[in-house]
A and B are shown apart, each in its own frame.
Chain A
Amino acid sequence: METEIELRQFSSVMKILENNKFEKTRIVTILQQIQEEYRYLPQEVLTYLASALSMPLAEIYGVATFYAHFSLEPKGKYQIKVCDGTACHVKGSEALFSVLDTKLKLGGKITSKDLLFTVEKVSCLGACGLAPVLVVNERVYGQVNKNKTIEVIDEIIKSEANGNLE
């Protein structure tokens, strides 16, 4: 029975591996797709990858920790990216970061306790014409200020609360 559970759990990983033809050279793409599935890179999956691709776990770990996009910790349901490119920086992105830190009671951490939000400072998102920019999951908010940031968060919290009621 145990194997059956494991198989079911890793079936999406298997699919990702099959799509990438079990090629070791595609490890970056494979990790991206796994992170998309789980919102982070669970340790069990990395161990599983190591044997499936016959690669040393250390090598996979090396790749996973090299790139900023990969996370070994679970990320929040809403990933907020505060752009800290030059244009956003000179237009006050730092203030947005501290507003979010206070608002979501992060206390210097990046993910809120309820796993609803993850706030990250990211390098330029290339929407400099709209600086400063904030991205929630895939949605881009341009020319934001402190108040607009709080509005965006409140809206999400509200919709989450409604969703839970339904």
Chain B
Amino acid sequence: METLNKSLEQIKISYESKSKLSKKRIIICAGTGCIANGALDLYREFIQEIKNLGLEVAIDLQNENGNHETVHVSSSGCQGFCAKGPLVTILPEQFLYVHVKTSDIAEIIEKSITQDLVVERLLFTEILGGKTYKGTNEIPFYVHQKRMVLDGCGIIDPTDIDEYIAHGGYFQAEKAYKELSSLEICDIIEKSGLRGRGGGGFPTGLKWKLTMKEISDIKYIICNGDEGDPGAFMDRSLMEGNPHKVIEGMMIAAKAVGANHAYIYVRMEYPLAVQRMKKAIIKAQSYGFLGKNIFDTGIDFEIEVMEGAGAFVCGEETALMSSIEGKRGMPSPKPPFPAVKGLFGKPTLINNVETFASIALILHKGSEWFSQFGTNTSKGTKTFALTGQVVNTGLIEVPLGTTLREIVFKIGGGITMDNGEVNLNAFKAVQIGGPSGGCLTSKHLDMPLDYENLKSVGAMVGSGGLVVLNSETCMVKIARYFMEFTQNESCGKCVPCREGTKQMLALLDEIIEGKATLETLDLLIELSKVVSKASLCGLGKSAPSPVLSTLEHFREEYMEHIVNKRCPNNQCKALRTISIDKEKCTGCTACLRKCPVAAISGEKKQAHSINAELCTKCGICNDTCKFGAIVGFN
């Protein structure tokens, strides 16, 4: 542990002098997305190929002590541009290569490493217009973002603590422990206007002060990384891409509220995030940032990673604490709030991953600097997971108050249809905030996105999942999808949520199966009110939001299902009418033989027909037909 004796400044200088020896650096994105596309093979092959050429490779700068020129090959966390992976970045030129395969490696090395040339064919090309861009400083997906919290994520090597330090890491933690009082830290955070990034939007500084004021022998800090909202992966990317930033934020929080023990609660669905966080904690311990007597101040602080076991409700803070205590992850009524009586009955500060990752930045640049971004009530930037039917899916960060139009069209590059084609006019809605949120329509395209505005239209920031939906989507089915999700995840403790969500799901099923009447709709609305009023925790309270929100903006779609028994987008199976196109049918009898309910009839070499009463709309005929003669499926 020789590093213990080195100051942060010395580590930084030593790292910088080592990195200067590398004239070139190859960064391979190793987020979950790129790994799925083969990034780890790329990483190995790059190293091998460079060695084969007789060039010196530096893999782990921490342990490099040579003084000769090297090519630095490293992996990084998620760079955000997930759909285009695996991504390879070449520094200092900042070339970004997309969809890189191992067969491209030789050419990349020949042109971009041994020389300073670009491999044109691997650059990002826009689908519409075909324009090619060299790197992140040009690509619209990145240019229109403001990456502050994500800064470093996708560049630095998450397993190399020295690189984080060289980027200014842990300097703020040292400042917090050596120079600032608890109150001073809380004041800085409060003045910055930072609000909880997990969805609720509670002012962070105030939360810290409430916990600080409590007098107790033990206090806890919890980092909530139980990012269960379907369609959200901001916390995963942060933990995978820049784990030390999260740790530093937690250290500062610990000093501010006077806690000595912390948990990071991560979903088990994120094995890579768990692994990277655990490794980062061990590294930070070996540098003396965690453990006993941090920065010689006599303060102890340790962090433990706890894996969830697959329960969405554990994202709710009281349920999460029950889970850490080794119980069923069920919520309890508030008050008492965690700040007063939390984990094991002790005062507990619980914040989201992204909130913690914003802390060091605020301490470094100051509250005024931070609060210049955003709107009057919502300061700073917010990361969003942009997914669904949009051209550029991935992880983005924009100032709060950015409009949906900028996000979907400028950053996202427009809408894709179900067949993959780009269509700029096909925007239908954006589902924001997951199963607790609502949908935003074309009416809201120019509304600045912040906590208050979203609340006023029946949606919420949530943790930040933005799922873009195109004009082919059936909104009733989307509402049903979320209802099924919350019904499944309801913990069963309180009746309104347990029974209410079940009944709401049954009512939605009636609608998409064409069995509903107008009374069904009234009942659905009434039930929604009961569930949201009477449920114990946020899960139940917000469960009806997707239904109410789609009903408000797309009532006519519900009416079509109920009154005319038809799904306008032909997505609801039970409401489809299947028929055979007499022109296209050759009478080959293939479908007739395959039909499991014998609903198809017709003579050989003559057009067949379907008996609608027998047909179960299973789709086997459609899969069988070679002539595209079955009409009614998508």
Contacts and interface: CB of A to CB of B under 8 A. Distances in A.
Interface of A: 23-29, 31-32, 62-63, 66-70, 84-87, 89-91, 122-131, 133, 138-142
A117 to B, nearest CB: 19
Interface in B337-359: 344
A25 B469 CA distance: 43
Contacts of A29: 306-307
B230 A32 contact: no
Contacts of B271: 138
A128 B231 contact: yes
A131 B36 CA distance: 11
Interface size class of B (residues with CB under 8 A): 35 or more
Contacts of A68: 309-311
A69 B309 contact: yes
A133 B311 contact: no
Given A68-B310, A69-B310, A129 B326 contact: no
Given A29-B307, A126-B227, A69 B387 contact: no
B158 interface: no
B196 interface: no
A24 B478 CA distance: 41
Interface stretch (B143-151, B210-218, B388-396, B444-452): B388-396
Contacts of A133: 36
A87 B478 CA distance: 11
A131 B467 CA distance: 11
B37 A142 contact: yes
B329 A124 contact: no
B15 interface: no
Given A63-B328, A126-B236, A129-B82, A140 B227 contact: no
Nearest to A68: B310
Interface string B254-273: 00000000000000111100
Given A25-B325, A63-B328, A126-B232, A32 B32 contact: no
Given A90-B388, A126-B227, A129-B233, 20 more contacts: A29-B306, A66-B491, A68-B310, A85-B230, A86-B467, A87-B230, A89-B481, A90-B473, A123-B269, A123-B312, A125-B32, A127-B33, A128-B231, A128-B387, A128-B388, A128-B465, A129-B82, A129-B387, A131-B387, A142-B33
B198 to A, nearest CB: 15
A130 B83 contact: yes
Contacts of A129: 33, 81-83, 85, 233, 387, 393-395
Contacts of A23: 326
Given A63-B327, A84-B230, A87-B467, A126 B268 contact: no
A32 B233 CA distance: 23
Interface in B363-410: 385, 387-389, 393-395
Interface of B: 32-33, 35-37, 81-83, 85, 227-233, 236, 268-271, 306-312, 323-330, 344, 385, 387-389, 393-395, 431, 434, 465, 467, 469, 473, 478, 481-482, 485, 489, 491
A3 B353 CA distance: 48
Contacts of B35: 140
A122 B385 CA distance: 19
Contact of A126 (B269, B312, B434): B269
Max chain A C-beta neighbours (<10 A), residue from B328, B344, B482: B328
A2 to B, nearest CB: 31
B485 A127 contact: no
Nearest to B484: A84
Contacts of B269: 122-126
Contact of A32 (B85, B228, B270, B307): B307
Nearest to A121: B488
A86 B387 contact: yes
Contacts of A128: 82, 231-233, 385, 387-388, 393, 465, 467
13 contacts: A24-B326, A25-B324, A28-B309, A66-B330, A66-B491, A70-B309, A87-B387, A91-B388, A124-B233, A129-B33, A133-B36, A138-B271, A142-B37
A127 B326 contact: no
A75 B33 CA distance: 26
| Most chain B beta-carbon neighbours within 10 Å: one of A25, A84, A86, A141 | A86
A25 B326 contact: yes
Given A24-B326, A66-B329, A89-B481, A127 B309 contact: no
A52 B325 CA distance: 18
Nearest to B36: A140
A68 to B, nearest CB: 4
Contacts of B387: 86-87, 128-129, 131
A16 to B, nearest CB: 14
B307 A127 contact: no
Contacts of A62: 328
A130 B233 CA distance: 12
A90 to B, nearest CB: 6
Contacts of A69: 268, 308-310
B224 to A, nearest CB: 15
Given A28-B326, A63-B326, A69-B309, A123 B231 contact: no
Contacts of A28: 306-307, 309, 323-324, 326
Contacts of B307: 28-29, 32
Given A125-B269, A126-B269, A128-B385, A142 B230 contact: no
Contacts of B330: 66
Nearest to B83: A129
A68 B469 CA distance: 29
B309 A124 contact: no
A87 B469 CA distance: 9
B109 to A, nearest CB: 26
A85 B227 CA distance: 12
B230 A127 contact: no
B311 A66 contact: yes
A139 B465 CA distance: 24
Contacts of B323: 28
Contacts of A122: 269, 310
B315 to A, nearest CB: 11
B270 A126 contact: yes
A124 B482 CA distance: 12
B6 to A, nearest CB: 33
Contact of B431 (A32, A84, A86): A86
Nearest to B416: A91
B83 A86 contact: no
A86 B32 contact: no
A40 to B, nearest CB: 13
Given A67-B329, A86-B434, A123 B33 contact: no
Nearest to B227: A126
Q: Which 10 A-B pairs have the closest CB atoms?
A: A129-B82, A67-B309, A85-B230, A126-B233, A68-B310, A69-B310, A140-B36, A124-B230, A128-B387, A87-B387
Contacts of A123: 228, 230, 269, 310, 312, 485, 489
